[in-house]
Structure 1
Amino acid sequence: MNLIRIILWAVIIYLIFSTIRNLFRYLSSAGKSGKNGETKKKKQGKYKIEKEDVIEAHFEEIDPSKSDNQKDNN
């Protein structure tokens, strides 16, 4: 019986603390609601990549009927 009481008290305390934490988060975000419309600056990356270093890739579509025909021929 004592173990059940301990578990119930632990659950109740957990729920109380989580409720208090959520209230603090809600109240702190309500004060900052005016800043939501602001745009953020894009953060510059760590690496300096120039346009000449980027290589364009070209891909071909795979036709499923051709791949099935090749398997049948072999």
Structure 2
Amino acid sequence: MTESAAPKRRLHMSPFKAPVMPSPCPQRFAVGDRGTHGVYGLGRVIAVEGSIAALGRSGSTRTRVLGPYAKTTKL
């Protein structure tokens, strides 16, 4: 048998998890960037720890958000 070039369709009732596709380009933050987080809201990056985490401030709250920043959007 030959393999088809088209990807296989998944059934919505399948008990198997869909393969996780990596995001095409991970977000990178720099000090001073503004962003919004799903839980913490609007804020500004005050420190970056390599590609591992970013420290942010939203209002009077400081938070440490770990990468890959799934709930964070850069503004």
TM-score by length of 2: 0.23
- As a proportion of its length, which structure holds more strand? 2
Higher helix share: 1
| Higher Cα radius of gyration | 1
Using CA pairs under 8 Å that are at least 6 residues apart, name the structure with larger relative contact order, 1 or 2: 2
